[in-house]
């Protein structure tokens, strides 16, 4: 995904990577493109942004 990518785990249960980059709108959009197939662990602020975006999308269908 990025030049700074480090694979922390890659097995049948998960693929966990570490990236070192700036938090931008483009990054948020890229992460959201994975839908429910990924989870942001850190930083908490980015995890909160992803969560909020998914909640906003869900509310459009209530």
The pLDDT of residue 11 is 97
pLDDT band at 30 (very low <50, low <70, confident <90, very high): very high
**Assessment of whether the complete model's pTM goes beyond 0.85:** no
Res 1 pLDDT > 80: no
Q: Name the phi and psi angles at 15, rounded to 5.
A: -125, 120
Distance CA 53, CA 28 (A): 9
The pLDDT of residue 48 is 98
Residues 15/9, Cβ–Cβ less than 8 Å:
yes
């Amino acid at each position: 995904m990025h030049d700074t990518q480090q694979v922390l785990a890659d097995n049948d249960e998960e693929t966990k990577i570490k990236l070192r980059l700036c938090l931008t709108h483009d990054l948020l959009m890229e992460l959201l493109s994975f839908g429910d197939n990924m989870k942001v662990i850190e930083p908490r602020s980015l995890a909160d942004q992803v969560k909020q975006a998914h909640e906003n999308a869900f509310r459009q269908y209530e």
